[in-house]
Structure 1
Amino acid sequence: MKFNCKKWITKAILTASAMIAITFPMASAQPAAAAGTGSAGLVNSLEQTLASRQPAGLKFSDVQFLSDHIGRAAGSGFMIGTSNGGADWQKIYTGQWQFAQIDFTDNVNGWALASVSPDQPARYLIRTSDGGSHWTRISTGSVAFDRIQFLNKQTGFAYAYNAVYRTNNGGVSWNQVKTPANTRGAFFSNINNGFAVVVVPGSGYRVMKTTNGGSHWSLSLRVNSSMNATSGDVYSSGQQTYVILYGGAGMSQISYSMYATTDGGQHWTKDISQSTAGGGPAPGGRDGLKKEGPAGPGGHPGNMQLIGSSTAYLSAGSPAGEVVGIGRSANGGRSWNNLKSDIAGYSSVISFRSAQTGYLAVTGFRNPAVYVTHDGGQTWTPLIQFHEKH
């Protein structure tokens, strides 16, 4: 079965285990005076250029750094880049594409999921070979992708709500990867090794594992749930894997659990067990290292970054609390710390290049900005910020 691509959804992770308490101080945002010297002019230029196309204002949707210095941020009709860690930014692209996710394998080759207007839900797969200045749409037929992940400029994976696809020619064509029935989330760390979140109606979740590219799947984790299981997110790098399993949602709240493993799925630790009044009980029960996620009660998970064999970060946001947050483990999930910040926003995404240096984009129209941390998420400095419309 061959064809082409689109983007992904949100959910949460973990099972019980314990101890080793590592404490990180509460995170806080530093004064805006630290913002890059080249930011103000670029912000004004972008807002004026895109004013007619973006009447609600400009917003960020994704940020990706290839090193501590070279990175990009993209959103509603624009992409910007930096080569000095965010001190200064340059315009890379302005136009019709409303970026939802970007994925560059190097400073030249990149892919994105995007729509062609602010109010269009459909997302297309597009590609650039000049760093992001020009984009070409790749035909996807009837397949809609929610998340893309490229290992190099030829090999990549794309994830839909209930399926996984793989390309060996830079996205020109895609083959469906065999996954278990009722898969509702998956991730491959390389062409052979992957995990899939499987919904078992009336029972809960099963996390399945493959080591041969999907030819065979085996049970890695079983999580019971008194609520209807919906979907999950998977993040994996080497032997370190996190899964987020979602419960219900309501009243701007979401219930979820997060589990971690550092031995390829043989043993799991439950890091977060967030039950809410609006979403009901967390999958797997109330027991976990933390009773809520990094954005506070009812907060929604954003994305995760796994660094090395034991460090992991989770971004989050709270529509009700209007604050974003970061959670962190430095020991493979055996302990978990929520570094709550005073950064305003409804949602966020992160891009960490090391255990200490990372970037956070506040997504949506509430406080659209990009921040940097050099101390593992304890403090954040704003780099560039758009004006919020009221």
Structure 2
Amino acid sequence: MTTKSRMTWKRIGALALSVTLAWGLGPVHTLPGANAASSPTCGNGDHGLTATLKKGSGVEDQRLQFTDIDFLNNTTGRAGGEGFLIGTSNAGCTWQSIYTGQWQFTQLDFPNNVNGFALAQAKDSPTTYLIRSTDGGAHWTRMDTKGIQFKRIDFRNKNEGFGYTYNGAYLTKDGGATWNRISTPANTRGAVFTTEKQGYAVVVAPGSGYRIMQTSNGGKNWTQSMKVTSTTWSGGDLYASGNQVWALLYGDAGMSQQSYSLYASGNEGKNWRQAFAQSTAGGGPAPGASSTGNGKGPADPGGHPGNMALIGNQTAYLSGGSPAAGKVGIGRSYDAGSTWKNIDLKDPGYSSRISFPSAKTGWLVVTSDNSPAIYETTDGGTTWKQKILLPAENE
């Protein structure tokens, strides 16, 4: 898959839990240590959670700030932050605290409702760790990754998953206990695998730009799939689901602006098109900006890309935010990049992440500290409804 493309990767069975919260799958049982606070009005304010979330170990003196969101289906999901994890089983009508403590979540990845993985940092530490939960997120165990620092994880089930570093890819088949490195080309700056055999890599070619490489034999051999001219080459991110592959390529950054381009393939890398190129005054020209594109990225001008969510072979979403404009938004395509549409949420914030469990229903979390909130859409992002709002840093 790819990060957050749940339709083909996640197996969500009807799980009966005795000591954990059966999210949307039966009676609600409070997680160990959780406070099942609820709001008298569906989707109103902070749902009475602010005081609860600030009681965790090591988080009492810091602001409440969201960092990621992960939904298993249209009603059941979790949102993580700096020192806390909350969840809902009724499409955000009510939320409850699942975890408070030392972990500052960077990315959440729950392949089912019981087993979860996350990338997280301990307070005041720059090191990112892989941690695992077997009770829905109430308790976490740090995994020993032998010095590997992942920047993204993607689990198919409780045992099998991929981990991606700044310049490489790894595979685990035992729930993250051990990892095997997948051979990637020299100068790799991003990778994604849809299966053990099929994968893609962003390769930097100093002096000329980027190359998108692909393999069909698990990294034994790589062939060039696309070449993109660029005067700068700071790296990229890849996402893939089914037949569609997306390459997010970065130019330079400056004045709170990021230049970047988004390329799409609807046939496993055989052919590519530029969805858009966003050049900025602070960041300069976007990679391949001279090519024909379909406008700018979400929350332009000066937008910063967040993460992508892919559904099936055609549908793709990209979150974004603009520090300069103080707004968040998304971009979307229903035809593997042939057309692209940007949508401004018209709500405050300057960074965001998304989770789309289905083609039209999705969730966006504002990850900037000025307006930590979660929004839901049921029409592919055309309209959004706020589901929770935490106090801003200065409140």
SS at match of 2:352: strand
How much does 1:177 deviate? 0.5
1:286 and 1:51 map into 2 onto residues whose CA distance is 51
SS at match of 1:304: strand
Structure 2 residue corresponding to 1:162, chosen from 167, 174, 177: 167
Find out whether 1:72 has 2:75 as its counterpart. Answer: no
1:35 and 1:273 map into 2 onto residues whose CA distance is 40
Find out whether 1:344 has 2:351 as its counterpart. Answer: no
Structure 2 residue corresponding to 1:293, chosen from 278, 297, 301: 297
Which amino acid in 2 is paired with 1:109?
N
Q: Cα–Cα, structure 1 residues 257 and 201, in superposed 2: closer, same or farther, change >3 Å?
A: same
Q: Cα–Cα, structure 1 residues 161 and 52, in superposed 2: closer, same or farther, change >3 Å?
A: closer
- 2:178 alignment counterpart: 173
2:77 and 2:380 map into 1 onto residues whose CA distance is 18
2:391 and 2:257 map into 1 onto residues whose CA distance is 27
Deviations 1:313-353 (A, max 9, x none): 00001111110011011111101000122121110000001
Segments of 5+ residues of structure 2 without an aligned counterpart are 4-39
2:197 and 2:361 map into 1 onto residues whose CA distance is 30
How much does 1:252 deviate? 0.5
- 1:57 alignment counterpart: 63
Give the conservation status (yes or no) of the 8 Å contact 2:57–2:100: no
Q: When the two structures are aligned, how many residues end up with a matched partner?
A: 357
- 1:187 alignment counterpart: 192
Structure 1 consecutive aligned stretches of length 4 or more whose deviation exceeds 4 Å: none
Which amino acid in 2 is paired with 1:69?
T
Deviations 1:177-204 (A, max 9, x none): 0000000001111222111000001010
Deviates more, 1:149-158 or 1:34-43: 34-43
Which amino acid in 2 is paired with 1:91?
S
SS at match of 2:299: coil
Which amino acid in 1 is paired with 2:220?
S
2:274 and 2:173 map into 1 onto residues whose CA distance is 35
Higher relative contact order (CA 8 A, sep 6+): 1
Where do 1:16-55 residues align within 5 Å?
Answer: 36=43, 39-47=46-54, 49-50=55-56, 53-55=59-61
Which amino acid in 1 is paired with 2:48?
G
1:232 and 1:197 map into 2 onto residues whose CA distance is 6
How much does 1:37 deviate? 5.4
Which amino acid in 2 is paired with 1:92?
I
1:337 and 1:55 map into 2 onto residues whose CA distance is 41
- 2:253 alignment counterpart: 249
SS at match of 2:336: coil
Give the conservation status (yes or no) of the 8 Å contact 1:54–1:76: no
Where do 1:158-237 residues align within 5 Å?
Answer: 158-225=163-230, 227-237=231-241
Find out whether 1:116 has 2:115 as its counterpart. Answer: no
Which amino acid in 2 is paired with 1:68?
N
SS at match of 1:378: coil
Structure 2 residue corresponding to 1:106, chosen from 112, 132, 144: 112
1:338 and 1:195 map into 2 onto residues whose CA distance is 26
Q: Cα–Cα, structure 1 residues 52 and 235, in superposed 2: closer, same or farther, change >3 Å?
A: closer
- 1:385 alignment counterpart: 389
SS at match of 2:146: coil
Give the conservation status (yes or no) of the 8 Å contact 1:361–1:369: yes
1:197 and 1:274 map into 2 onto residues whose CA distance is 19
Deviations 1:130-172 (A, max 9, x none): 1111110011222211111111111111111111111111100
Give the conservation status (yes or no) of the 8 Å contact 1:240–1:261: yes
2:345 and 2:248 map into 1 onto residues whose CA distance is 22
Q: Cα–Cα, structure 1 residues 71 and 57, in superposed 2: closer, same or farther, change >3 Å?
A: same
2:310 and 2:99 map into 1 onto residues whose CA distance is 29
Give the conservation status (yes or no) of the 8 Å contact 2:57–2:101: no
Find out whether 1:151 has 2:156 as its counterpart. Answer: yes
SS at match of 1:187: strand
Give the conservation status (yes or no) of the 8 Å contact 1:35–1:384: no
Q: Cα–Cα, structure 1 residues 240 and 98, in superposed 2: closer, same or farther, change >3 Å?
A: same
How much does 1:214 deviate? 1.1
Find out whether 1:95 has 2:139 as its counterpart. Answer: no
TM-score of the superposed pair, with normalisation by structure 2:
0.87
Give the conservation status (yes or no) of the 8 Å contact 1:51–1:57: no
Give the conservation status (yes or no) of the 8 Å contact 2:187–2:204: yes
How much does 1:45 deviate? 2.5
Deviations 1:62-100 (A, max 9, x none): 100001111000111111111111111111111111111
Structure 2 residue corresponding to 1:269, chosen from 273, 276, 279: 273
2:295 and 2:373 map into 1 onto residues whose CA distance is 29
Deviations 1:5-61 (A, max 9, x none): xxx9xxxxxxxxxxxxxxxxxxxxxxxx985259421234224x2497253410111
Find out whether 1:82 has 2:88 as its counterpart. Answer: yes
TM-score of the superposed pair, with normalisation by structure 1:
0.88
Which amino acid in 1 is paired with 2:241?
S
Which amino acid in 2 is paired with 1:180?
P
Find out whether 1:135 has 2:140 as its counterpart. Answer: yes
SS at match of 2:48: helix
Structure 2 residue corresponding to 1:305, chosen from 297, 304, 309: 309
- 1:359 alignment counterpart: 363
- 1:376 alignment counterpart: 380
- 1:327 alignment counterpart: 331
1:37 and 1:367 map into 2 onto residues whose CA distance is 15
SS at match of 2:158: coil
2:290 and 2:211 map into 1 onto residues whose CA distance is 18
- 2:23 alignment counterpart: none
1:70 and 1:353 map into 2 onto residues whose CA distance is 10
Which amino acid in 2 is paired with 1:352?
F
